[in-house]
Amino acid sequence: MKQNNLLLILAIVAVVVAMANAFIALNKVNSLTGHATEEGYANLTVSSTVNINFSQDTVNWGEGIVDVGEDNATLDTVGPTVTGGNWTTTGVEPLILENIGNVNATINMRAASSAQDFLGGTSPAYEWNFTNNEANSCTQGAGVTLGSYASTSTSNTEVCAPLNYLTGQNSLQIDIRLTVPYNSKIGSLSDTITAEATAA
Amino acid sequence: MKSKKVFLVFVCFLTVILILNMLDASLGLTPAKRSLNFEPGSKSVFEYRVNTDNPEKELILYSKGNLSEYVSLNKEKLIGGGGFKATLSLPEKIEKPGRHRILIGVKEKIDKELATVGTSVAVQGVIYVHVPYPGRYIEINNFKAENANAGEPVRFSFELINRGKENLTIKPKIEVYSKNKKEETLNFKTRKLETGKNIKLKKDLQTQDYNPGEYYANLIVDYGNKTKEKTNFRLGTLKVDILNHTKSIKLEGVKRFDIKVESKWNNKIPNLYGIVTFYNESSVISKIKTPSSTIEPWEKKQISGFLDTKKFNEEEYKANITLKYSGNSTEKMSNVTFIKEDSLFTNPWIISIISAIIIVGGALIVIYLRKNKKKLKKENEGKN
B234 HSE (CA, 13 A, CB side): 12
> Which chain A residue is nearest to residue B123, measuring alpha carbons?
A197
Residue B342 DSSP code: P
Please spell the DSSP secondary structure of chain A, one letter per residue.
-HHHHHHHHHHHHHHHHHHHHHHHHHHHHHHHSS---S-------PPP-EEEEEEE-EEEEEEE-BPTT-SEEEEETTTTEEESB----TT---EEEEE-SSS-EEEEEEESS-HHHHT-SSS-EEEEEEEESSTT-EEE-TT--TTS-EE--SS-EEEEEEE--STTS-EEEEEEEEEEETT---SEEE--EEEEEEE-
Residue B198 identity (one-letter amino acid): N
Give the per-residue pLDDT at A2: 54
Residue B281 DSSP code: S
> Which CATH number is B240-340's, of 3.40.50.300, 2.60.40.3500, 2.60.40.10, 1.10.287.1400?
2.60.40.10
Q: How far is B66 from chain A (nearest CA, A)?
A: 15
Task: Compare CB distances from B33 to A48, A195, A196 and report the shortest one's residue.
Answer: A48
* Cis amide prior to A162 (ω within 30 degrees): yes
When comparing pLDDT for A36 and B155, which is higher?
B155
Give the per-residue pLDDT at B359: 83
Residues of chain B whose beta carbon is less than 8 angstroms from a beta carbon of chain A are 4-5, 7-8, 11-12, 14-33, 51, 53, 103, 105, 107, 110, 115-126
Contact B24 A188 (CB under 8 A): no
Contact A187 B16 (CB under 8 A): yes
**B171 exposed, middle or buried (CB, 10 Å; 0-12, 13-18, 19+)?**
middle
Has residue A100 got a pLDDT over 70?
Answer: yes
Question: Contact B304/B258 with Cβ under 8 angstroms?
Answer: yes
Q: What are the C-alpha distances in Å from A3 to residues A6, A52, A179? A: 5, 69, 88
Q: How far is A198 from chain B (nearest CA, A)?
A: 5
Give the per-residue pLDDT at B26: 87
> Which chain A residue is nearest to residue B109, measuring alpha carbons?
A194
Q: What are the C-alpha distances in Å from B174 to residues A51, A160, B155, B236? A: 38, 35, 11, 21
* Segments of chain B assigned to CATH 2.60.40.10: 27-111+122-131, 138-236, 240-340
Task: Compare CB distances from A198 to B15, B28, B103 and report the shortest one's residue.
Answer: B103
Contact B117 A112 (CB under 8 A): yes
Has residue A25 got a pLDDT over 60?
Answer: no
Find the mean pLDDT for residues A51-68. Answer: 90
Has residue A24 got a pLDDT over 80?
Answer: no
Which chain A residues in 19-38 lie under 8 Å from chain B, judged by CB atoms?
Answer: none
Residue B327 DSSP code: T
B27-111+122-131, CATH topology level: Immunoglobulin-like (2.60.40)
b/e sequence B244-275, b meaning 16+ C-beta within 10 Å = ebbeebeeeeeeebebebebbbbeebeebbbb
Task: Compare CB distances from A48 to B16, B31, B116 and report the shortest one's residue.
Answer: B31
* Euclidean distance between CA atoms A84 and A65, whole angstroms: 9
Compute the C-alpha angle A101/A103/A104, nearest 5°: 105
Give the per-residue pLDDT at B304: 96
Question: Contact B60/B89 with Cβ under 8 angstroms?
Answer: no
Find the mean pLDDT for residues A143-150. Answer: 96
* Euclidean distance between CA atoms B38 and B40, whole angstroms: 6
Q: Is A89 on the interface with B (CB under 8 A)?
A: no
* Cis amide prior to A80 (ω within 30 degrees): yes
Which chain A residues in 102-141 lie under 8 Å from chain B, judged by CB atoms?
Answer: 102-103, 105, 112
* Least reliable range by pLDDT among A19-23, A187-191, B287-291: A19-23
Contact A52 B27 (CB under 8 A): yes
Name residues whose C-beta falls within 8 Å of residue A29's C-beta, 6 or more positions apart in sequence: none
In this structure, the dihedral spanned by the alpha carbons of residues B326, B331, B337 and B340, taken in order and rounded to 10 degrees, is 20
Residue B311 DSSP code: G
- Does the ipTM exceed 0.85? no
Low-confidence ranges of chain B (pLDDT < 50): 1-23, 113-117
Has residue A175 got a pLDDT over 50?
Answer: yes
The reply to whether CATH 3.90.420.10 applies to domain B138-236 is no
End-to-end CA separation in angstroms for chain B: 56
CATH of domain A52-199: 2.60.40
Give the per-residue pLDDT at A58: 80
Of the candidates B245, B238, B256, the residue with the CA atom closest to the CA atom of residue B295: B238
